[in-house]
Structure 1
Amino acid sequence: MQTMMTRGAAAGLLLALLGGCASLAPDYRQPELPVPAGFTNQVSDGYASAAKSVNELQANTLDENAWRQWFADPALQATIAKALANNRDWRIAMLNVEKARAQYGIAAADRWPTLSADGSGTHQRRPADNGGQPQVSHDYAAVVGISGFELDLFGRVRNLSDAAWRSYQASGEVERSARLSLIANVANGWYALAAEQERLKVAEATLASRRDTQKLIERRFAAGISGELELREAQTQAETAAVDVERYRTQVAQARNALQLLVGAPVEATSLPAGWQDRAVPGVPPVPGNLASDVLLARPDVREAEQRLRAADANIGAARAAFFPRITLTANAGAASSELSQLFQAGSGSWLFMPQISLPIFDGGRNQSNLDAAKADRELAVASYEKAVQTGFREVADGLAQIDGDAGQLAAQARVLAASGQALKLAQARFEKGVAGYLDVLIAQRSHYSAQLVQIALQQQQAANQIGLYKALALY
Structure 2
Amino acid sequence: MSKSTLVYRGLMTSTLSIALTACINLQAPKPVIQSNIPENFTQNADQNHAGPSIAHQGYQTFFSDIRLLQVIEMSLNHNRDLRSATLNIQRAQQQYQITKNDQLPTIGANANALRQVNPSINPNHPYASYQVGLGMTAYELDFWGRVKNLKDVALNHYLATQSAQQSTQISLVSQVTQAWLDYAFAPANLKLAEQTLIAQQDSYNLNKKRFDVGIDSEVPLRQTQISVETAQNDVATYKTQVTQAQNLLNLLVGQRVPQNLLPNQAVERIRTQATFATGLTSDLLNNRPDIKAAEYQLLAAGANVGAAKARLFPTISLTGSAGYASTDLQNLFKSGGFVWSIGPSLDLPIFDWGTRKANIKISETDQMIAVADYEKAIQSAFREVNDALAAQAHIDERLGAQRRLVLATQTTYQLSSARFKAGIDNYLSVLDAQRSAYTAQQGLLTLEQSKFNNQIELYKALGGGLNQK
Give the TM-score category using the shorter length. 0.7 to 0.9
For the residue of structure 2 that corresponds to 1:144, the secondary structure is strand
Matching residue within 28, 37, 42 for 1:40: 42
Shift of 1:279: 4.2
Q: Report matched runs for 1:281-360 at 5 Å.
A: 281=270, 286-288=275-277, 291-360=280-349
Aligned to 2:92: 100
Residues 1:162 and 2:152 aligned together: yes
Aligned to 1:400: 389
Shift of 1:267: 2.6
Aligned to 2:412: 423
Residues 1:23 and 2:25 aligned together: yes
Distance 2:178 2:134 in 1: 62
AA aligned to 1:122 is A
| 8 Å Cα contact 1:282/1:467 also seen in 2 | no
Q: Give the direction of change, closer, same or farther, for the CA distance of 1:417–1:175 in structure 2 (3 Å limit).
A: same
AA aligned to 1:255 is A
AA aligned to 2:19 is L
Residues 1:114 and 2:106 aligned together: yes
| 8 Å Cα contact 1:214/1:231 also seen in 2 | yes
| 8 Å Cα contact 1:296/1:473 also seen in 2 | no
1:331-363 CA distance string (max 9 Å, x none): 121222223332222222111112112345443
Distance 2:21 2:102 in 1: 13
TM-score (norm 2): 0.86
Aligned to 1:452: 441
Distance 2:229 2:55 in 1: 53
Distance 1:449 1:227 in 2: 26
Shift of 1:395: 1.2
| 8 Å Cα contact 1:323/1:367 also seen in 2 | yes
Aligned to 1:53: 52
For the residue of structure 2 that corresponds to 1:143, the secondary structure is strand
1:89-143 CA distance string (max 9 Å, x none): 323222222222222122111111112222x24142649999x895343322221
Among the aligned pairs, what percent are the same residue? Answer: 38
Residues 1:240 and 2:206 aligned together: no
Shift of 1:426: 4.2
Q: Report matched runs for 1:271-282 at 5 Å.
A: 271-276=261-266, 278-281=267-270
Q: Give the direction of change, closer, same or farther, for the CA distance of 1:452–1:428 in structure 2 (3 Å limit).
A: same
Q: Identify unmatched segments of 5+ residues in structure 1.
A: 1-6, 61-65
Aligned to 2:3: none
For the residue of structure 2 that corresponds to 1:135, the secondary structure is coil
> Which piece of structure 1 moves more, 207-216 or 385-394?
207-216
| 8 Å Cα contact 1:319/1:367 also seen in 2 | yes
Shift of 1:416: 1.4
| 8 Å Cα contact 1:26/1:313 also seen in 2 | yes
For the residue of structure 2 that corresponds to 1:324, the secondary structure is coil
| 8 Å Cα contact 2:65/2:270 also seen in 1 | no
Aligned to 2:69: 77
For the residue of structure 1 that corresponds to 2:317, the secondary structure is strand
TM-score (norm 1): 0.85
Q: Give the direction of change, closer, same or farther, for the CA distance of 1:194–1:58 in structure 2 (3 Å limit).
A: closer
Distance 1:154 1:343 in 2: 42
> Which piece of structure 1 moves more, 68-77 or 146-155?
68-77
Residues 1:465 and 2:467 aligned together: no
Residues 1:124 and 2:115 aligned together: yes
Alignment root-mean-square deviation, CA:
3.2
> Which piece of structure 1 moves more, 212-221 or 385-394?
212-221
1:133-167 CA distance string (max 9 Å, x none): 95343322221231100111221100111011111
1:197-255 CA distance string (max 9 Å, x none): 21111001111223334344455556666665444443433332222111211222222
Distance 1:382 1:192 in 2: 38
Distance 1:431 1:371 in 2: 83
AA aligned to 1:382 is V
Distance 1:212 1:328 in 2: 92
Aligned to 2:245: 255
Q: Give the direction of change, closer, same or farther, for the CA distance of 1:373–1:127 in structure 2 (3 Å limit).
A: closer
AA aligned to 1:35 is I
Distance 2:144 2:117 in 1: 49
Aligned to 1:137: 127
Q: Give the direction of change, closer, same or farther, for the CA distance of 1:72–1:15 in structure 2 (3 Å limit).
A: farther
> Which piece of structure 1 moves more, 70-79 or 300-309?
70-79
Distance 2:350 2:273 in 1: 62
1:426-476 CA distance string (max 9 Å, x none): 444555666765445433322221111001111222233222222221112
> Which piece of structure 1 moves more, 326-335 or 189-198?
189-198
Q: Give the direction of change, closer, same or farther, for the CA distance of 1:390–1:285 in structure 2 (3 Å limit).
A: farther
| 8 Å Cα contact 1:200/1:245 also seen in 2 | yes
Residues 1:377 and 2:377 aligned together: no
| 8 Å Cα contact 2:309/2:360 also seen in 1 | yes
For the residue of structure 2 that corresponds to 1:328, the secondary structure is strand
Distance 1:324 1:264 in 2: 52
Residues 1:184 and 2:174 aligned together: yes
AA aligned to 1:321 is A
Distance 1:262 1:289 in 2: 28
Distance 1:229 1:138 in 2: 114
Distance 2:22 2:134 in 1: 25
Aligned residues: 455
Q: Give the direction of change, closer, same or farther, for the CA distance of 1:341–1:279 in structure 2 (3 Å limit).
A: farther
| 8 Å Cα contact 1:71/1:282 also seen in 2 | yes
| 8 Å Cα contact 1:42/1:290 also seen in 2 | no
| 8 Å Cα contact 1:43/1:401 also seen in 2 | no
AA aligned to 2:230 is T
Shift of 1:87: 2.8
| 8 Å Cα contact 2:71/2:253 also seen in 1 | yes
> Which piece of structure 1 moves more, 77-86 or 327-336?
77-86
